[in-house]
Amino acid sequence: MSEVAEVETTELDLLPPAETALQVYQQPQGLDPYIERIRAEVTGHVPDLTTKKGRDAIASLAFKVRRAKTALDTLGKQLVDDLKEIPKKIDAERKRMRETLDALADEVRQPLTEWEEAEEQRVAAHRWNIGWFAGQVEYARDGDAEKYRAILSEVAAKVVDETWEEFEAEAHRVKAKAIETLTAALAAREKHEAEQAELARLRAEAEARRIQDEKDRIAREAAERATREAEAKAQAEREAAAQREAQVKAAAEKAERDRLEAIERQKQAEARAEAERLAAEQRAKDAAEAARRAEIQRQADEAARIEAEQKAREADRAHKAKTNNAAVSALVAGGLSQEAAKLAITLIAQGKVPAVRVNY
């Protein structure tokens, strides 16, 4: 009960007395003393955005202004309802009071609003950095072992420390999961590549044995054929033994040449196959490196774009604040009070003064 009574008493203190309320509302700027009293109660507060209590205090002051606005507006409405003959004057004063106190409420809350915007950007940046780990895992998918090793090294080298603030623990977990996934994928890829290399080696050995067996068969058949021919002709051609021996020697030398040529062709085929394999590996490495560099460039471009947009917004706010302050100073120098000068510039900047505007 005591808290309710205190709130009601505070609100009544901000209202014109009933006996003079009509006179106050009829006068131009008649509510200024009450508006200034409200301003005095809320503008002396030093904003503290570092704690929840401090931020709640700022919101509470803004709410207090709006509550006082409602009370003053309600009182004015009652006067209008009771005194139908002067509604235009009261309504005009009510409108001016509402706009003034709304602007004051926004002004009081501005530090909290700016803090909330900065907090949103900070959290978004941390979320993007955490998502980078999952992105690297996805980028490595279906790559060769060399690509997996490069990305695993890059992920492991990513520093997670106190600069990640309240996201540090989550970042450690996501990084550990990414390392675990990449390590398992690398082991599987290395096993697969080793199996493929072993299959290729076995195929090459089998082909070499087949070629050698074919050479041996040809040589053996040639030797057998030469022997049969020699034996068949031995009786009939003894006098030409020397000539036949030369023919046999020539046939043997030809068979040897054929065997040596076949061996040379096999070596050349194996050399071409090895060269093609090495070239294919180099092309795969070059493609992976090009993709990695493209991703790094994309990330750098995105970070530069975000930074440029942030700087542009900050520069625009600073420029507008400087222009408004200069305008206020000029009006004060021309004879207006500080508060009246601020109000005038605020109304002009909001487009509420016809044919007048601030050039930024």
Tens digits of per-residue pLDDT, 302-317? 999 999 999 988 988 8
pLDDT in the model for residue 2: 30
143: three-class secondary structure by DSSP: coil
Closest alpha carbon to 101 in 10, 39, 47: 39
Tens digits of per-residue pLDDT, 70-110? 989 998 888 877 777 667 778 888 899 999 989 988 988 89
Closest alpha carbon to 63 in 45, 83, 89, 51: 45
d(C-alpha 126, C-alpha 58), whole Å: 27
Which run of H or E residues covers position 163?
Answer: none
Has residue 278 got a pLDDT over 90?
no
pLDDT in the model for residue 241: 66
Query: In which band, very low, low, confident or very high, does the pLDDT at 3 lie, cut at 50, 70 and 90?
Result: very low
| Range among 133-147, 220-234, 267-281 rated most confident | 267-281
pLDDT in the model for residue 99: 92
* pLDDT mean across residues, the chain: 84
The pTM score is: 0.36
The average pLDDT across 258-271 equals 88
pLDDT in the model for residue 237: 67
Query: In which band, very low, low, confident or very high, does the pLDDT at 6 lie, cut at 50, 70 and 90?
Result: very low
32: three-class secondary structure by DSSP: helix
pLDDT in the model for residue 67: 92
- Alpha-carbon torsion, ordered 19, 21, 27, 33, to 10 deg: 110
Closest alpha carbon to 156 in 128, 139, 137: 137
Cα 327 to chain centroid, rounded? 40
pLDDT-above-70 percentage for the chain: 93
d(C-alpha 14, C-alpha 5), whole Å: 14
Q: Are 59 and 109 in contact (CB under 8 A)?
A: yes
347: three-class secondary structure by DSSP: helix
Burial of 76 (0-12, 13-18, 19+ CB in 10 A): buried
Has residue 4 got a pLDDT over 60?
no
User: Structural domain boundaries of the chain?
Assistant: 2-129, 141-281, 309-360
**Non-local CB neighbours of 255 within 8 Å, separated by 6+ positions:** 218, 219, 222, 223
Q: Can you spell out the DSSP letters for 33-74?
A: HHHHHHHHHHHT-----SSHHHHHHHHHHHHHHHHHHHHHHH
Provide φ and ψ at 107, rounded to 5°: -65, -40
Both tokens of residue 346? 């605020």
